[in-house]
């Protein structure tokens, strides 16, 4: 059974432990810049004190002493309490820790406290226990939860059909990294609202100064390559719950999932030629192998949109469910899968993926390189401008 410990560090030894906790929100990663120029605000400090209460793992006595000392220094300044007697071990340890901070300014102590809590929270969030039923991370456009042994990454921009912004690519990578190490057994990607995902957010191409176009194409290709690499290397079973239409990269990536469940309302559209672009997500290799070269060509060269049933027939989708029972049926199935022995599942996945990994990385590198060229082509620029000026829609 997982040990879940809540901790109120600055009241350490006063018996004020709290837990188990209901909700964990991972803070966004913070830059750890130390020094007086970066003093944390009172608000940051108050937030950090709350975060300490949410830690699931006991950080150990040494860290608790450090937190205690920094808290006292930040709130009261240099140690002003009388030295406890030699036999009062606990009070003596606390006094020593506080006293050791000497004349450290209050602002610096506050900043160090915030930094320390932030680093503890980050490691704590990557160790979610499957039984704990906790919300793991939340931002506006991506919601990550962990429950019943399943980490769910939900695209959450329904008003924009869950189009992927540059930040979302980064957040998904981070979420996959965390999911690969947390204690969940399977990982799910799905969408909020009526779409699964409308692919790359075409406004990612907006407002690029002419002399930066080439540079941006290159950096986007690096981002794309890193992003797809995370899917190639993801070690646990990865399931797509395709709740509605899917476009572009959200379709091509499906070839890297272990299982794809789709609503019968879902469609699968890869309009790369229409956009003056080229296939990514290893689809130029996986789709022809999966569905045969000519069916792959219809999708990847001519942009043929498949229905869910057609995608099932081509092997891109594992199973299709009626939309009105989709969520119920799929989640019941996934919860049962998440009870299977995790190591056995990982090993089976590794054996299946292992022989192809090198090839997939090479394909991804080449597709990303070619896309960087396409993004600066007239064909692509014309198509993006047409979309952005609302003259074209798929
Ligand atoms: C760095 C990594 C690069 C990876 C390379 C990836 C490539 C791809 O993914 S290529 C595919 C790109 N996607 C598209 O071309 C889709 C463009 N969108 C559309 O054609 C349509 O919006 C639609 C068919 C997806 C939906 O049409 P409809 O039901 O009529 O809904 P709206 O068009 O009114 O959409 C609502 C709202 O959402 C905005 N939006 C939808 N998709 C995108 C998108 N991909 N990028 C940016 N914005 C998108 C749409 O503009 C509407 O916005 P508002 O007008 O402000 O309401």
pLDDT for position 6: 26
User: Which of 255, 248, 157, 155 has its CA nearest to residue 198?
Assistant: 248
Query: What is the Å distance from ligand 1's center to 197 Cα?
Result: 9
Query: What is the Å distance from ligand 1's center to 378 Cα?
Result: 20
Confidence of residue 184 (pLDDT cuts 50, 70, 90): very high
Q: Which atom number of ligand 1 is nearest to the Cα of residue 387?
A: 17
Which of 38-52, 178-192, 346-360 bottoms out in mean pLDDT, i.e. has the lowest?
Answer: 38-52
The percent of residues in the chain predicted with pLDDT above 70, rounded, is: 82
Domains of the chain as residue ranges with CATH: 42-121 (1.20.80.10), 142-391 (3.90.226.10)
pLDDT for position 139: 56
DSSP codes of every residue in 27-66: PPP-----SGGGPPPHHHHHHHHHHHHH--S---HHHHHH
Name which residue sits closest to atom 52 of ligand 1, judged by CA: 160
Confidence of residue 8 (pLDDT cuts 50, 70, 90): very low
Q: What is the mean pLDDT of residues 170-185?
A: 97
Kindly indicate whether the ipTM for this predicted assembly is greater than 0.90, answering yes or no.
yes
Query: What is the Å distance from ligand 1's center to 124 Cα?
Result: 36
Query: What is the Å distance from ligand 1's center to 384 Cα?
Result: 11
- Tens-digit pLDDT profile for residues 245-280: 999 999 999 999 999 999 999 999 999 999 999 999
The percent of residues in the chain predicted with pLDDT above 90, rounded, is: 65
Query: What is the Å distance from ligand 1's center to 105 Cα?
Result: 51
Neighbours of 323 (CB within 10 A): 15
- Tens-digit pLDDT profile for residues 210-227: 899 999 999 999 999 999
pLDDT for position 335: 98
Name which residue sits closest to atom 35 of ligand 1, judged by CA: 160
Which of 65-79, 176-190, 289-303, 330-344 bottoms out in mean pLDDT, i.e. has the lowest?
Answer: 65-79
pLDDT for position 39: 67
pLDDT for position 58: 66
User: Which of 253, 299, 300 has its CA nearest to residue 277?
Assistant: 300
Name which residue sits closest to atom 37 of ligand 1, judged by CA: 160
Query: What is the Å distance from ligand 1's center to 228 Cα?
Result: 20
Indicate the average pLDDT of the chain: 84
Name which residue sits closest to atom 53 of ligand 1, judged by CA: 160
Tell me the CA distances in angstroms from 354 to 6, 173, 179, 185, 304, one per residue in order. 40, 21, 20, 19, 31
Query: What is the Å distance from ligand 1's center to 35 Cα?
Result: 44
Confidence of residue 393 (pLDDT cuts 50, 70, 90): low
Dist. CA 199–CA 307, nearest whole Å: 17
Question: Best mutation site among 156, 158, 159, 160 for ligand 1, i.e. most ligand atoms within 8 A of its Cβ?
Answer: 160
- Tens-digit pLDDT profile for residues 112-166: 888 778 766 654 433 333 333 344 444 589 999 999 999 999 999 999 999 999 9
pLDDT for position 86: 74
**Is-contact 364 232, C-beta < 8 A?**
yes
Dist. CA 309–CA 316, nearest whole Å: 10
Question: Best mutation site among 161, 230, 284 for ligand 1, i.e. most ligand atoms within 8 A of its Cβ?
Answer: 161
**Is-contact 187 153, C-beta < 8 A?**
yes
- Tens-digit pLDDT profile for residues 375-386: 999 999 999 989
Name which residue sits closest to atom 10 of ligand 1, judged by CA: 248
pLDDT for position 118: 74
Name which residue sits closest to atom 30 of ligand 1, judged by CA: 393
pLDDT for position 5: 24
Query: What is the Å distance from ligand 1's center to 200 Cα?
Result: 8
Query: What is the Å distance from ligand 1's center to 195 Cα?
Result: 10
Query: What is the Å distance from ligand 1's center to 163 Cα?
Result: 6
Torsion 346-349-350-351 (CA) sign: positive
Ligand 1 contacts (CB < 6 A) are 160-161, 163, 169, 198-203, 220, 223-224, 247-249, 275, 277, 280, 387, 393-394
pLDDT for position 55: 67
What is the pairing mode between strands 267-269 and 246-247?
parallel
**Is-contact 312 127, C-beta < 8 A?**
no
Whether 391 shows a pLDDT value over 70: the answer reads no
- Tens-digit pLDDT profile for residues 311-368: 999 999 999 999 999 999 999 999 999 999 999 999 999 999 999 999 999 999 999 9
Query: What is the Å distance from ligand 1's center to 104 Cα?
Result: 53
Tell me the CA distances in angstroms from 300 to 180, 198, 208, 222, 252, one per residue in order. 30, 16, 27, 22, 9
Question: Best mutation site among 219, 231, 247, 299 for ligand 1, i.e. most ligand atoms within 8 A of its Cβ?
Answer: 247
Name which residue sits closest to atom 31 of ligand 1, judged by CA: 161
Whether 70 shows a pLDDT value over 50: the answer reads yes
Name which residue sits closest to atom 42 of ligand 1, judged by CA: 198
**56 vs 134, which has greater pLDDT?**
56
CA end-to-end span of the chain: 51
Q: Which atom number of ligand 1 is nearest to the Cα of residue 203?
A: 47
pLDDT for position 17: 24
């Amino acid at each position: 059974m997982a040990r879940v410990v809540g901790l109120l560090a600055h009241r350490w030894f006063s018996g004020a432990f709290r837990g188990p906790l209901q909700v964990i929100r991972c803070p966004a990663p913070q830059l750890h810049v130390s020094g007086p120029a970066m003093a944390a605000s009172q608000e940051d400090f108050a937030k950090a004190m709350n975060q300490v209460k949410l830690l699931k793992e006991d950080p150990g006595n040494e860290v608790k002493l450090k937190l205690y000392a920094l808290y006292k220094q930040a709130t009261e300044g240099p140690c002003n309490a009388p030295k406890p007697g030699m036999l009062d071990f606990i009070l003596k340890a606390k006094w020593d820790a506080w006293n050791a901070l000497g004349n450290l300014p209050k602002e610096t102590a506050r900043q160090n406290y915030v930094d320390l809590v932030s680093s503890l929270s980050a490691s704590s969030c990557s160790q979610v226990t499957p039984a704990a039923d906790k919300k793991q991370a939340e931002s506006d456009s991506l919601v990550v939860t962990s429950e019943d042994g399943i980490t769910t990454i939900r695209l959450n921009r329904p008003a924009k059909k869950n189009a992927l912004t540059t930040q979302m690519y980064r957040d998904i990578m981070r979420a996959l990294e965390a999911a690969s190490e947390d204690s969940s057994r399977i990982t799910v990607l799905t969408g909020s609202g009526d779409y699964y995902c409308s692919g790359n957010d075409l406004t990612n191409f907006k407002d690029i100064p002419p002399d930066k176009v080439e540079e941006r194409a290159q950096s986007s290709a690096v981002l794309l390559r890193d992003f797809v690499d995370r899917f190639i290397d993801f070690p646990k079973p990865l399931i797509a719950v395709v709740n509605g239409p899917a476009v572009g990269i959200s379709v091509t990536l499906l070839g890297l999932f272990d299982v794809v469940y789709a609503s019968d309302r879902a469609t699968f559209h890869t309009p790369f030629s229409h956009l003056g672009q080229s296939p990514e997500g290893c689809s130029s290799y996986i789709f022809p192998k999966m569905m045969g070269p000519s069916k792959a060509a219809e999708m990847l060269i001519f942009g043929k949109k498949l229905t869910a049933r057609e995608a099932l027939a081509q092997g891109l989708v594992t199973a299709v469910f009626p939309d009105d029972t989709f969520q119920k049926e799929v989640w019941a199935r996934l919860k049962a899968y998440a009870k299977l022995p995790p190591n056995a599942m990982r090993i089976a996945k590794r054996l299946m993926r292992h022989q192809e990994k090198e090839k997939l990385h090479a394909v991804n590198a080449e597709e990303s390189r070619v896309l960087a060229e396409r993004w600066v082509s007239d064909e692509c620029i014309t198509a993006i401008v047409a979309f952005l000026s609302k003259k074209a829609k798929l």
